[in-house]
């Protein structure tokens, strides 16, 4: 496994792989890897000849009062896990390497970037779209792998790829959960034991919304009220949003009959967690 830190080294190793006729899969991450990340790596391994994983805690997607400085960084353990998975290349640039002094070009996917997490975290998706566009330009992957866990991110990036004609296929992988249902997240390690218990409420709220939708409830208002009621039972949980939206535009839906994304975000203590599920799927 090659570990490269500069843009030019990344380009060189990818060029070598291409010269061998290999297809390239890219898995963008911020490190602190868990089974959710590794599921993306395995999906990439299964459908591409060579896999590049980027590890970069991207400052432009964090707000001024967010956890950029204390975001977990576990580079050695991450590389060991990626080596075990048979990853070909780890691209781990410094902030200065990714954002050369004076960089002033950003990718704004208007509309969708202001919804869900984009509404709660202004500027977040501008940072995400910009860094992913840069990674696409540096690595030039055939396919890029993202988790359904970050459903709003998926909507933003799919639209960016369409709007800007990136020759990349976006592959979305299912949410990987802890045995009790909590969606895996690098931020789960911030939770105290009591918060960790109460964090299950996000999953339970979505399960309740799914149960009602399956039983024939189609009104988004009713489903949201039921989800919020589950979240309200836990004193350490403060809801940021609980919504039912169109999975592509992230606009609110009144009714889930055509299929909908149910998405929740909540602070558990000081830690903001997200989760989601698809409702009303006709399969
Ligand atoms: P992050 O390191 O948090 O930026 O996440 C990197 C990628 O891993 C993103 O595409 C996430 O959606 C994905 N991811 C994070 N957690 C999970 C999970 N529990 N299940 C599936 N994918 C995940």
CB distance 213 to ligand 1 below 6 Å: no
Q: What is the pLDDT of residue 283?
A: 47
What's the chain's Rg over C-alpha atoms?
19
Residue 137, SS3 per DSSP: helix
Positions in the chain short of pLDDT 50: 283
Enumerate the active-site residues: 37
228, 136 contact by CB (below 8 A) = no
Of the candidate CATH numbers 3.20.20.105, 3.30.1300.10, 2.60.40.10, 2.40.128.260, the domain formed by 186-276 belongs to 3.30.1300.10
Fold of 2-173: Rossmann fold (3.40.50)
Q: What is the pLDDT of residue 186?
A: 96
CB distance 184 to ligand 1 below 6 Å: yes
Q: What is the pLDDT of residue 281?
A: 59
For ligand 1, atom 8: residue with the closest CA: 37
**Residue whose C-alpha is closest to residue 185's, from 80, 118, 272, 86:** 272
User: CA-to-CA distance for 255 and 77, rounded, in angstroms?
Assistant: 45
Q: What is the pLDDT of residue 79?
A: 98
Determine how many CB atoms are found less than 10 A away from the CB of residue 164. Answer: 12
Domain spans of the chain, in order of start: 2-173, 186-276
User: CA-to-CA distance for 16 and 71, rounded, in angstroms?
Assistant: 33
Q: What tokens appear for 28 in the block?
A: 């963008």
User: 29 CA to middle of ligand 1, Å?
Assistant: 7
- Ligand 1, residues 150, 152, 183: which to mutate, most atoms within 8 A of Cβ? 150
CB distance 274 to ligand 1 below 6 Å: no
C-alpha dist (Å) from residue 275 to 19, 44, 49, 150 = 40, 23, 31, 8
User: CA-to-CA distance for 129 and 102, rounded, in angstroms?
Assistant: 18
User: 187 CA to middle of ligand 1, Å?
Assistant: 11
User: 22 CA to middle of ligand 1, Å?
Assistant: 25
Edge-first strand order for the sheet with 2-4 is 2-4, 89-91, 50-55, 24-29, 143-147, 169-173
User: 113 CA to middle of ligand 1, Å?
Assistant: 18
CB distance 173 to ligand 1 below 6 Å: yes
The conformational region for residue 216 under phi > 0 = left, psi -120 to 50 = alpha, else beta, is: left
User: CA-to-CA distance for 24 and 64, rounded, in angstroms?
Assistant: 35
CB distance 130 to ligand 1 below 6 Å: no
Task: Kindly report, residue by residue over 85-143, the tens digit of the pLDDT.
Answer: 999 999 999 999 999 999 999 999 999 999 999 999 999 999 999 999 999 999 999 99
191, 269 contact by CB (below 8 A) = yes
CB distance 87 to ligand 1 below 6 Å: no
Q: What is the pLDDT of residue 133?
A: 99
């Amino acid at each position: 496994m090659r570990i490269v830190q500069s843009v030019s080294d990344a380009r060189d190793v990818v060029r070598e792989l291409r010269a061998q006729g290999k297809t390239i899969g890219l898995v963008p991450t911020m490190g602190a890897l868990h089974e959710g990340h590794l599921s993306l790596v395995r999906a990439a391994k299964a459908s591409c000849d060579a896999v590049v994983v980027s590890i970069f805690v991207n400052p432009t997607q964090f707000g001024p009062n967010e956890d950029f400085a204390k975001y977990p960084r576990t580079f050695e353990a991450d590389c060991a896990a990626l080596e075990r998975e048979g990853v070909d290349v780890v691209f781990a640039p410094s902030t200065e390497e990714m954002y050369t002094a004076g960089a002033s070009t950003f990718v704004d996917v208007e509309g969708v970037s202001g919804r869900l997490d984009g509404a709660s975290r202004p500027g977040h998706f501008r940072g995400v779209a910009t860094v992913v566009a840069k990674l696409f330009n540096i690595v030039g992957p055939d396919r890029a792998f993202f988790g359904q866990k970050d459903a709003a991110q998926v909507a933003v990036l799919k639209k960016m790829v369409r709007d800007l004609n990136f020759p990349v296929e976006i592959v979305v992988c299912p949410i990987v959960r802890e045995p009790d249902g909590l969606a895996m997240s690098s931020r789960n390690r911030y939770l105290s034991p009591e918060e960790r218990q109460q964090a299950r409420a996000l999953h339970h709220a979505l399960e309740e919304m799914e149960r009602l939708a399956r039983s024939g409830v189609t009104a988004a208002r009713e489903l949201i009220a039921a989800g919020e009621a589950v979240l309200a039972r836990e004193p350490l949980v403060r809801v940021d949003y609980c919504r039912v939206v169109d999975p592509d535009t992230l606009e609110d839906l009144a009714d889930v009959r055509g299929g909908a994304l149910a998405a929740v975000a909540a602070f558990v203590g000081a830690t903001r967690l997200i989760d989601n599920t698809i409702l009303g799927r006709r399969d």
